[in-house]
Structure 1
């Protein structure tokens, strides 16, 4: 009897409403780590054009970039493992513990890249060490997304969840923008030769050192997972997650289209405008900086819009517009010669992405109950992201090397079509989601035959 009373008190204390200042601090803690992690992850993509020759044998620029893109993709393939391990930690030990560990791992990967010797010094061990560093970073990013999306969705106030959720991608973009601005500053202060010899290492040192502030902020975060949910039999387990097979299928379908489209217009666009459109790296950096600033500012605005019109409508608008416009946008960018026109086209593509990014974490968190939410968000997302987002550059560069670059444009459109179909089949989350509604995703989704309704709850 006393144990039951104690459990009830613990649950009540952990579920107690937060005051607005504490809620803001908690979101800052979650988002600061997100910013640092994605800065570290994106700085690799933006400095690859300078360090590619340092870690791989001499050859043409496309071959070296293809090699670095392959290593970039390898980092993505660690994300499912990170989503699985840290989803289990978040669902059984708490969201805060999971997020603190992930920051340390990301910075360890960045520090390793910053100090490692080149191919001329240690030969084949150089690319091997680079792969190891990317594996560590991939594991960390796989942890950060699922736990961060879960935490923000749980701490947000009703009616403002998409607005709060928009700050996850706001900080992802801010991290990417910070990485890009760091490269721009280095381009203005160092010569091209200095950047290739040692200047590219500076951004990785910055990322490694930034973890100190993040850990300090995250130590004060409010824990949203309750002891009751963390102690459930199937908490944080794959068995518990796969009781929600239709939700898993929806997460994968949303992720493959959203991630592929996002990385096409962000990380790959940096190289696409150089090697296909013929702009200089410095010009492309300015184009992408301006486009990403606009994209970042769109996040809270589109988040507020999603709170008004609903997540399902937002997902349909994103996938529908992306499906129709991605091919003409990429064809136009392939032949563009004016930097301002290039900016408008890139920003147009990112504006479409802004219909997905503010709701990306919330839509996935709504599909699972608390005991498997971090795992359910993180693991299927990581699988889809690795298979399609992480390979975006590699697929595009491979097709380009074969002289059929345009096939990539149709590939993106085809994958986004799958996301559009999933959005049509998704139930109304305000009525049937686990956070905002009755928690009847399995019974209401249109994905027939994926699972039995009786298996809908943990």
Structure 2
């Protein structure tokens, strides 16, 4: 399709509304996703029967369902990315947020095992599959939408809000869960309290849906309609742009491992390997996440001025050199907070620009699906498994290997960044 054959779409007339539509919806998506993690112990006790003589069976089953959600993310990235490429970014964004709202409500209404027997875990598994589908599709659609909505020289800034909103969603889920646990008794939490965050998530999804409905479409349509123009197939991005698909994996591998290690697993790592108390570990994690959210627009603005490669190399080489010393330095609340904040500064080099880099690699016609599948697959393989790999090293008696694993994968990604073409100042293909 040539430039002459397209009808231009103005995407900067309401940039604040565009940014709000993507960010609010993304925050709600991640609120729903993380609420499950924070309330896993309560869900386990109500939905899964305890094994004879083994009280860990319910919790293990609940985390197995968590893993199932990660498995569905690449499928969601592919399917919802295809929807975004065929029917528009706004259409995909409204589908993903309604899907997340419905699946969140389903978790909140899941019957107990005592009331419904085997139907209870079946309902929960179904809800978690739908959540994974939604989250995988959300990144593909919202990344594309954010970058295409940005004005000249602002793609990095707009893309940084992907992780601003993700972090705010995580903090909101943590805050709501903590408030309920602190305000309700254990009996009330086990009876009905654990359901409240999911019902609230469903309501918030409707708010996000309303905001997104008023957003402006960023996908250009062929002049005179779509007649005679073949819509992109499900696997067109993989088939016609295999190198770009592999690049997405290489760009993401180290970043997603470092992200999940620093934002999700580090408090547990500090508890298991450094004797830091649970309350102190969670407080350090919360404070560092707030700091991390504030850093993202700064990183995005710097990348718009100086390019995408410098922050990516800052992240990759920084973690390769400092990942092991930072993790090994953790032995108290103060050292944990310092290590987390230092890691967040390095991590910003990846998170604040990755959405822009991903979008700038693919042509508009297959951009969303091209990003969605390889990105979500890499996250499932490396990011989603970070807590499990870390715990596995600890159980095997080799906790010191995990920091080396993080640093090694960041070094691999750094070699990819070295060979990347600079895309910050190129015109974005539409």
Q: State the TM-score, normalized to the length of structure 2.
A: 0.90
Cα deviation 1:95-126 (Å, max 9, x = unaligned) = 00000010011112211211213344445544
Counterpart of 1:318 in structure 2 is: 315
What are the equivalent positions in structure 2 for 1:31-430 lying under 5 Å apart? 31-56=23-48, 57=50, 65-228=59-222, 231=226, 232-233=229-230, 235-333=232-330, 336-337=331-332, 339-430=333-424
Runs of 5+ consecutive residues of structure 2 not aligned to the other structure: none
Matches of 1:267 and 1:359, distance apart in 2: 21
Deviates more, 1:305-314 or 1:46-55: 46-55
- Of 420, 435, 446, the residue aligned with 2:428 is 435
Kindly state the Cα deviation for residue 414 of structure 1 after the two structures are TM-superposed: 2.2
Give the direction of change, closer, same or farther, for the CA distance of 1:368–1:42 in structure 2 (3 Å limit): same
Is 2:25 the counterpart of 1:28?
no
Matches of 1:90 and 1:243, distance apart in 2: 18
Give the direction of change, closer, same or farther, for the CA distance of 1:53–1:328 in structure 2 (3 Å limit): farther
Give the direction of change, closer, same or farther, for the CA distance of 1:105–1:47 in structure 2 (3 Å limit): same
Matches of 2:199 and 2:85, distance apart in 1: 32
Runs of 5+ consecutive residues of structure 1 not aligned to the other structure: 440-458
Cα deviation 1:375-421 (Å, max 9, x = unaligned) = 11111101111111122222223333333333332222222222111
Matches of 2:12 and 2:171, distance apart in 1: 31
Give the direction of change, closer, same or farther, for the CA distance of 1:273–1:72 in structure 2 (3 Å limit): farther
Cα deviation 1:184-233 (Å, max 9, x = unaligned) = 22233124454344322221111111111111111111101011299553
Give the direction of change, closer, same or farther, for the CA distance of 1:324–1:64 in structure 2 (3 Å limit): farther
Is 2:7 the counterpart of 1:11?
yes
Give the direction of change, closer, same or farther, for the CA distance of 1:118–1:28 in structure 2 (3 Å limit): same
- SS of aligned partner of 1:70: helix
Kindly state the Cα deviation for residue 173 of structure 1 after the two structures are TM-superposed: 0.6
Cα deviation 1:152-197 (Å, max 9, x = unaligned) = 1111012111111111110001101111111222233124454344
Matches of 2:24 and 2:357, distance apart in 1: 22
Matches of 2:269 and 2:419, distance apart in 1: 34
Q: Is the Cα contact below 8 Å between 1:187 and 1:282 reproduced in 2? A: no
Cα deviation 1:26-50 (Å, max 9, x = unaligned) = 1101111101001111111222244
Matches of 1:279 and 1:224, distance apart in 2: 48
Q: Is the Cα contact below 8 Å between 1:36 and 1:211 reproduced in 2? A: yes
Q: State the TM-score, normalized to the length of structure 1.
A: 0.85
Q: RMSD of aligned C-alpha atoms?
A: 2.6
Q: Is the Cα contact below 8 Å between 2:11 and 2:216 reproduced in 1? A: no
- SS of aligned partner of 2:216: coil
- SS of aligned partner of 1:31: helix
Give the direction of change, closer, same or farther, for the CA distance of 1:162–1:264 in structure 2 (3 Å limit): same
- SS of aligned partner of 2:329: helix
Matches of 2:307 and 2:28, distance apart in 1: 30
